[in-house]
């Protein structure tokens, strides 16, 4: 014999009451879940607005800001392997809705770092007057910087090494950026 007494007429009524209470709680949970979903959506939109300065309520409209991608190519041959791969990279970046600019280092005048210390005395400035100042500005405004170089004698091309050495006077300003290093062998 069970703990329940035989013939207790309230058992079916109690069972029905428990089922109704469960149903009411499930409905409340569905409302809470729906409210949480709307709240999470709003929080997400405000987080995007904090980053972009744009607040929108369109569902499914993902706000992605176009990134500025700077490709620094030290290929010595226009139309060579490294240069062609850089062009394909630029094409892919643009097809993805981002901005891309390729700088062909061979066409720029970038002097060697002389180690004079001028940049340490006057932080952010270099004593040399060449194309590096313009490249610096473009690097600072880029979201993504790609260093693309062929491999010569098991290392990067000299033009790329010279450019990297000249970043000494502003490298601490290169923050919140993505960097890619592309080596082309053969």
Q: How far apart, in whole angstroms, are the C-alpha atoms of residue 144 and residue 30?
A: 44
Q: How far apart are the first and last CA of the chain?
A: 88
**pLDDT of residue 1 exceeding 60:** no
- Interval 68-106: pLDDT, tens: 999 999 888 888 888 888 999 999 999 888 899 999 999
- The H helix count followed by the E strand count for the chain is 5, 5
**pLDDT of residue 170 exceeding 70:** yes
Of 157, 141, 139, the closest CA to residue 83 belongs to: 157
Q: What Cα–Cα distance (Å) separates residue 78 from each residue in 99, 105, 152, 159, 160?
A: 21, 11, 16, 14, 16
Lowest mean pLDDT among 54-58, 88-92, 163-167: 54-58
Asked whether the beta carbons of 111 and 132 are under 8 A apart, the reply is yes
The per-residue pLDDT for 61 is: 52
């Amino acid at each position: 014999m069970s703990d329940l007494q035989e013939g207790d007429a309230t058992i079916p009524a109690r069972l029905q009451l428990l089922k109704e209470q469960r149903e009411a709680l499930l409905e409340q949970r569905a409302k809470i879940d729906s409210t949480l979903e709307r709240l999470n959506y709003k929080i997400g939109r405000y987080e995007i607005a904090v980053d972009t300065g744009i607040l929108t309520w369109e569902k499914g409209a993902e706000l992605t800001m176009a990134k500025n991608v700077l490709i620094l190519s030290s290929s010595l041959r226009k139309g060579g392997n490294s240069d062609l791969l850089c062009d394909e990279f630029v094409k892919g970046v643009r097809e993805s809705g981002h901005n891309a600019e390729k700088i062909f280092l061979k066409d720029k005048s970038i002097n060697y770092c002389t180690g004079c210390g001028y940049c340490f005395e006057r932080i952010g400035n270099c004593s040399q007057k060449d194309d590096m100042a313009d490249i610096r500005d473009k690097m600072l405004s880029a979201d993504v910087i790609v260093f693309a170089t062929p491999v010569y004698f098991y290392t990067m091309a000299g033009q790329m090494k010279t450019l990297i050495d000249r970043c000494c006077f502003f490298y601490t300003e290169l923050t919140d950026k993505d960097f890619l290093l592309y080596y082309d062998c053969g």
